[in-house]
């Protein structure tokens, strides 16, 4: 019997976990507690949406998903660092993440900062040294350049600063630019991993880019809605923080129904972008999962 899309996505996730473990097992004899703190957050039960996107995009382009695992792991390590740092008292000051006490609550602030630093830096080592020799040096370099663009001062870090400043302008363009950088950039690059590692035709390249852009925003709109509607047990982190911190969110800007309509139209546009990619059922399944997720 053929497996359902959610079953295939679950298999892809298990495949990623096993392969990633052999690339970076988190045992650091030189500083065991650092390895422990990095592993504590990395292995806290994240959904692994970004790695699954990279593997599904590889499949959609007819590439071996095994070959994108190091890049996918690098992205998930950077994502994990961003969560650790985002939760610090100097930033969002959160006690719970992924259903557990946050890193600084368990290891103290200094080690939490260093665990984040370790994950960020090691991600680039994994991306540079962990990739198969069949991938060209220029493909590896393209990916590493784009990873630093997505994670750094042109992407997530800039978005985080825009978020910290959160001027109460209620400006929809500002909100979109903030989220394109803070959340969207790392999601979009996950979709584009195989497009950077290999030369691919222009048409699927543009389709993946558009798909990545739309699901990146969709992810954030749903995140904002869940922040207002979901519980701590569902989210694994403290809900209702956006409103408390007077942040502009999609439900605040458009109302809950308006935000839900925006999510529907982003999902529609993401699915439309996949029309030129023949083997894109898994990517379509991920977009639907993001739209319907409850955590």
Q: Does 207 bind ligand GRG (CB under 6 A)?
A: no
Interface pick for ligand GRG out of 102, 103, 160, 207 (rule CB under 6 A): 160
Q: Does 101 bind ligand GRG (CB under 6 A)?
A: no
Using CA atoms, how far residue 174 sits from 43, 147, 178, 245, 260, in Å, is 34, 23, 6, 17, 19
Cβ neighbourhood burial of 203 (10 Å; 0-12, 13-18, 19+):
exposed
Cβ at position 182, least distance to ligand GRG in Å: 5
Three-class HEC string of 239-267: CCHHHHCCCCCHHHHHHHHHHHHHHHHHH
Q: Does 46 bind ligand GRG (CB under 6 A)?
A: yes
Q: Measured at the alpha carbon of residue 162, what is the angle toward residues 158 and 166, in degrees to the nearest 5?
A: 165
Q: Among 4-12, 56-64, 78-86, 247-255, which window interacts with ligand GRG (CB under 6 A)?
A: 78-86
Q: State both tokens at 46.
A: 């994240």
* # binding residues, ligand GRG (CB under 6 A): 16
- CA-based max dimension of the chain: 54
Q: Among 41-49, 208-216, 252-260, 277-285, which window interacts with ligand GRG (CB under 6 A)?
A: 41-49
Cβ at position 242, least distance to ligand GRG in Å: 9
Residues 6+ apart with CB under 8 A from 216: 179, 180, 183, 184, 185, 187, 188
Q: Among 80-88, 103-111, 127-135, 270-278, which window interacts with ligand GRG (CB under 6 A)?
A: 80-88
Cβ at position 111, least distance to ligand GRG in Å: 16
| SS3 category, 176 | helix
Cβ at position 131, least distance to ligand GRG in Å: 23
**Closer residue to ligand GRG, CB minimum distance, 82 or 103:** 82
Q: Does 82 bind ligand GRG (CB under 6 A)?
A: yes
d(CA 7, CA 82): 29
**Closer residue to ligand GRG, CB minimum distance, 160 or 188:** 160
d(CA 15, CA 148): 26
Q: Which residue is nearest to ligand GRG (CB)?
A: 46
- State the pairing for strand pair 100-101/96-97: antiparallel
DSSP letters along 177-201, please?
HHHIIIIIHHHHHHHHHHHHHS---
Interface pick for ligand GRG out of 83, 123, 259, 286 (rule CB under 6 A): 83
Binding residues for ligand GRG restricted to 229-288, rule: CB under 6 A: none
d(CA 277, CA 247): 37
Binding residues for ligand GRG restricted to 102-131, rule: CB under 6 A: none
What backbone phi and psi angles, to 5 degrees, belong to 40?
A: -55, -45
Q: Among 154-162, 204-212, 258-266, 281-289, which window interacts with ligand GRG (CB under 6 A)?
A: 154-162
Cβ at position 270, least distance to ligand GRG in Å: 16
Cβ at position 279, least distance to ligand GRG in Å: 24
Cβ at position 221, least distance to ligand GRG in Å: 10
Q: What residues make contact with ligand GRG under the rule CB under 6 A?
A: 46-47, 49, 79, 82-83, 85-86, 98, 156-157, 160, 182-183, 220, 223
């Amino acid at each position: 019997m053929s497996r359902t899309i959610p079953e295939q996505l679950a298999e892809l996730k298990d495949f990623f976990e096993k392969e990633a473990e052999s690339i970076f097992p988190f045992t650091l004899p030189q500083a065991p507690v650092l390895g422990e703190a990095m592993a504590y957050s990395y292995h806290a039960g994240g959904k692994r949406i970004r790695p699954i996107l990279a593997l599904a995009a590889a499949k959609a382009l007819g590439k071996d998903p095994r070959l994108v695992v190091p890049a996918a792991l690098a992205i998930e390590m950077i994502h994990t660092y961003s969560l650790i740092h985002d939760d610090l008292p100097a930033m969002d000051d959160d006690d719970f993440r992924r259903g557990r006490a946050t890193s600084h609550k368990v290891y103290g602030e200094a080690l939490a900062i260093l665990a984040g630093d370790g994950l960020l830096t090691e991600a680039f080592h994994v991306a540079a040294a962990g990739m198969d020799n069949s991938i060209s040096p220029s493909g590896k370099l393209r990916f590493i350049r784009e990873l630093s663009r997505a994670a750094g001062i042109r992407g997530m870090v800039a978005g985080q600063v825009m978020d910290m400043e959160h001027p109460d302008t209620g400006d929809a363009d500002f909100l979109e630019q903030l989220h394109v950088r803070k959340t969207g950039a790392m999601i979009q690059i996950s979709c584009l991993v195989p497009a950077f590692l290999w030369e691919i035709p222009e048409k699927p390249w543009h389709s993946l880019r558009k798909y990545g852009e739309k699901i990146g925003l969709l992810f954030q709109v749903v995140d904002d809605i869940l922040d207002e509607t979901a519980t701590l047990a569902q989210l694994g982190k403290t809900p209702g923080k956006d409103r408390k911190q007077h942040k502009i969110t999609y439900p605040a800007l458009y109302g809950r129904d308006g935000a839900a309509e925006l999510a529907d139209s982003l999902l529609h546009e993401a699915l439309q972008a996949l029309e030129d990619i023949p083997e894109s059922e898994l990517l379509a399944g991920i977009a639907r999962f993001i739209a319907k997720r409850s955590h």
